Structure 1
Amino acid sequence: MSPDRPVGDLFRRFRERLAAERTAVADRTGADVPAAGGPGAARRVGRADSAGRATGAGPGAARTDAGSRDAGLTPHPPRDVAPTTSRRRGGRGGRGGEQLTVPPAEFTSYYGRPILKPPVWRWDIAAYLFTGGLAAGSSLLAAGGQLTGRPALRRAGRVTSLAAVSASAYFLVNDLGRPSRFHHMLRVAKPTSPMSVGTWILTAFGPAAGLAAVAEAAPRLPRHGVLGLGRRLLPPAGNAAGLVAAVTAPALATYTGVLLADTAVPSWHEAYPELPAIFAGSALASGAGVGLLAAPCAQAGPARRLAVAGAALELWGSHRVENRLGLLSEPYTQGTPGALLRAGRSLTAAGVVGALLGRRSRLLSAVSGGALLAASVCTRFGIFHGGVASARDPKYTVVPQRERADRPA
């Protein structure tokens, strides 16, 4: 600093310039702005103008609405935003509410994108859900035919079970991309993982169902030689394998429901009590459909009883997921999932009625069996697409979370 311009002189010049600016502002706006450093300056600078608008804490034409108008500027905050009804905290009594600077926040998602990533599973997983249930239901039907002496029912159930579990393995491997990945999943057994448990269930069920189905070909083998030995050994081995498959069948029918409910997909996760019941009922109904299609009326008694039990479980579970979940029930009632589930309910009811009325009509029994199989397809695909739809819409993730947060402890 040069000696001819001491600090006191610079400070005095600054105060004079600041006072001149304040006087100019007061002349333009008509406001009573005291000189810098005068009594009450710090208290009155920043006070609201006659319209009650909050002003700033320093000089400038845009610090008040009147100053903004004189300067040709738009008053801030905008006048089209309604003021709040609450009083200022810590302000003087009787003073008006604060002016909102932004409109109230509304629900949206970041950049318009879903909060959850939708499942990457394709149609082959929905088909896997159906074929797995069909394999389980058919093996139970075959065990019933075996224990009650109904060979046609037993044969139809075993052959269908092998075909369905083979299709399940194909759909699963197709989704995994490489067969080796299925093999890699068998390196560990993790009871807390539905996927790991399901892999082991499928591994145990498949060979048993295969041996039971192969045993049905024993009567066609020659009576002598090596094949004759197979003709004698296969039937008892097939009976034992058929019972093993039937014991494993309930786990195969229901684990896929647990698998879906174990994900973060909102409408699947919230329906965790119902999904295993729906899938169990659908499996029983589809197995009954096989029996009604393939067995003569005289041997179809267990299939009819299986149809009634499966339909009751499936209809109860479907009704629950469409009415118990509140907002998360919407994906199951709208669009493609809603249409599929409604069709599944109608076909299930028609199949049960036809099964009960068609005790002596092979044609009516076959039509009822086809209706039950189609109902199982519609139900599995409807549940699948309903969960995918709930993951794509952010409201099904955020709104239930807010409701749970606002719920009293």
Structure 2
Amino acid sequence: MSDSEVRRDGVHGERPGRDALVGQGLGEGGRTARRRGRRRGRRGEQLMVPEAEFTSYYGRPVISRPTWQPRDIAGYFFLGGLAGAGSVLAAGAEVTGRPVMARALKISSLVAVSGSAAALVHDLGRPERFANMLRVFRPTSPMSMGSWLLSGYGPAAGAAALLDVTGRLPRTARAATAGAALLGPAVAAYTAVLAADTAVPAWHDAYRELPFVFTGSAATAACGMALIASPVAENGPAVGGALFGVALETAAAKAMEHRLGMVAEPYRQGRGGRLMRAAQGLSAVGAAGAALAARRSRTAAVLSGAALLAASACTRFGVFHAGVASAEDPKYTVVPQRERLARRAS
């Protein structure tokens, strides 16, 4: 019992040292500990329980699944690459005195870009939607720039092929060939930028390497077409180009998978993984056949070219299906975000 008593004039009989002392009683060590605690709070609280494993709301995707059709958009990727790289190789063949290769590649580029545009328009649903994209010139939009690029490249590739076949207006034909060759690399690679500009994890996170994968794949396809359509005496540049394209695509794909970590799983698993492995195998077969026998045997050149064309198509379809798989599984969106936040906090 306390002997203190509360009267009108105050408290009487209280024991000393009973007042509540705010900020005192802990001593210098206590104040130092509190300052350390505040500093830790600014850096992030210490976890007292293990971090929870990843889950999502009933397994629902975090982002919308791409609604593009594989035949249209993956075909658009492949045919655009074949057309653009083919125009570059055609210009080189013309300058070095290989008329059969040059004409074959000009024709194949015209057919390929026509098929690529048709696939894009089919996916859009109505042809006027492509024309509507030309109403705006927006350098920050890959779709806008791609539409203008195709609008400039298509007529140049068409004029180069038609004038070469008819033999008319040789100066105009050379100018059209040069114009198509200048725009060709952009046509071959811009679809990678278009895919990486989306929120799809396997595409967006691969923005550094994907243009090199597409460029190597385009060179592989164009050189494969050259081996199929050219005589043995003219296919030397196609052999060298095929080896370069396969090396570039393989190196870029390996670097991409290494850097992406967990997000690279769709490139190794499922339909995307199967297609990417098929592309690697066909590329190896086509490159070996081209290097060892394509300059001596017409049959070997055709078979090697067909393998290279198929490899390029498998790469484009594999990249497409890997992207769709990464969008359907929410972990490829959420887990990398958590890892990035953790790195920033540390």
- The answer on 1:139 being equivalent to 2:87 is yes
Work out which of the residue numbers 235, 241, 251 in structure 2 matches 1:300. Answer: 235
**SS where residue 344 of structure 1 aligns?**
helix
Distance 1:361 1:104, change over 3 A: closer
Give the match for residue 244 of structure 1. 179
User: Which of 133, 141, 146 is the aligned partner of 1:198?
Assistant: 146
2:333 is aligned with 1:397:
yes
Contact map agreement 2:61 2:328 (CA 8 A) in 1? yes
User: Given the alignment of the two structures, is residue 369 of structure 1 paired with residue 305 of structure 2, yes or no?
Assistant: yes
> Given residue 155 of structure 1, which amino acid in structure 2 is its aligned partner?
R
Residue in structure 1 matching 2:101, options 127, 138, 153: 153
Residue 129 of structure 1 is matched in structure 2 by 77
Tell me what 1:310 maps to.
Answer: 245
**Aligned counterparts of 1:137 and 1:253: Cα–Cα separation in 2:** 6
Cα distance change of structure 1 residues 104 and 406 upon mapping to structure 2, 3 Å threshold: closer
Letter in 1 for 2:92: G
What residue number does 1:117 align with? 64
RMSD: 1.4
Residue 163 of structure 2 aligns to which amino acid in structure 1?
Answer: A
Q: Does structure 2 retain, via aligned residues, the 8 Å contact 1:136–1:252? A: yes
Deviation at 1:305, TM superposition (A): 1.4
Task: Give the % identical residues.
Answer: 57
User: As a proportion of its length, which structure holds more helix?
Assistant: 2
Instruction: Please tell me whether the aligned partners of residues 289 and 303 of structure 1 are also in contact (alpha carbons under 8 angstroms).
Output: yes
Q: Per-residue displacement from partner, 1:179-213 (whole Å, max 9, x unpaired)?
A: 11100100111000011111111111000000011
Task: List alignment gaps of at least 5 residues for structure 2.
Answer: 1-49
Equivalent residue number for residue 15 of structure 2 = none
SS class of match (1:380): helix
1:351-386, Cα deviation, whole Å (9 max, x unpaired):
111111121111111111000000000000000100
**Equivalent pair of 1:336/1:382 in contact (CA under 8 Å):** yes
Residue type at the aligned position of 1:382 = G
Distance in 1 (alpha carbons) for counterparts of 2:342 and 2:213: 31
Structure 1 gap ranges (5+): 1-102, 220-230
For 1:83-135, what per-residue CA distance to the aligned partner results, in whole angstroms no more than 9, with x for missing partners? xxxxxxxxxxxxxxxxxxxx985432224311111111111101100000010
Q: Which of 122, 126, 130 matches 1:178?
A: 126
Structure 2 letter corresponding to 1:317 = A
Mapped contact 1:146–1:239 kept (Cα < 8 A): no
Q: Which has the larger radius of gyration?
A: 1
Aligned residues of 1:140 and 1:287 also touching (Cα < 8 A): no
Deviation at 1:320, TM superposition (A): 1.8
The answer on whether the counterparts of 2:59 and 2:330 sit within 8 Å (CA) in structure 1 is no
Which residue of structure 1 aligns with residue 41 of structure 2? none
Report the 3-state secondary structure (helix = DSSP H, G, I; strand = E; otherwise coil) of the residue aligned with 1:207: helix
Matching residue of 1:347: 282
Change (3 A) 1:104 1:312: closer
Decide whether the 8 Å contact of 2:103 with 2:165 is kept in 1: no
Instruction: Find the counterpart in structure 2 of residue 162 from structure 1.
Output: 110
**Superposed displacement of residue 323, structure 1:** 2.2
Q: What letter matches 2:80 in structure 1?
A: G
Counterpart for residue 159 of structure 2: 211
